[in-house]
Amino acid sequence: MENILETINTPDDLKKLRPEKLPALCEELRKYITESCSKNPGHLGASLGTVELTVALHYVYHTPEDKIVWDVGHQAYAHKILTGRRKAFLKNRCYNGLSGFPKME
Q: What is the pLDDT of residue 72?
A: 84
Q: Can you give the pTM of this predicted structure?
A: 0.89
Instruction: Give the alpha-carbon dihedral of 39, 45, 50, 51, to 10 degrees.
Output: 40
What residue numbers bound the domain in which 52 lies?
Answer: 8-91
* Residue that wins the pLDDT comparison between 2 and 55: 55
- pLDDT-derived band of residue 91, with 50, 70 and 90 as boundaries? confident
Asked if residue 98 is part of any domain, the answer here is no
Asked if residue 64 is part of any domain, the answer here is yes
pLDDT digits (tens, 9 = 90+) for 94-105: 788 777 777 776
Count, in order, helices (H) and strands (E) of the chain: 5, 0
Asked if residue 97 is part of any domain, the answer here is no
Question: Count of domains in the chain?
Answer: 1
pLDDT digits (tens, 9 = 90+) for 18-28: 999 999 999 99
Residue 85 sits in a domain of what CATH number? 3.40.50.970
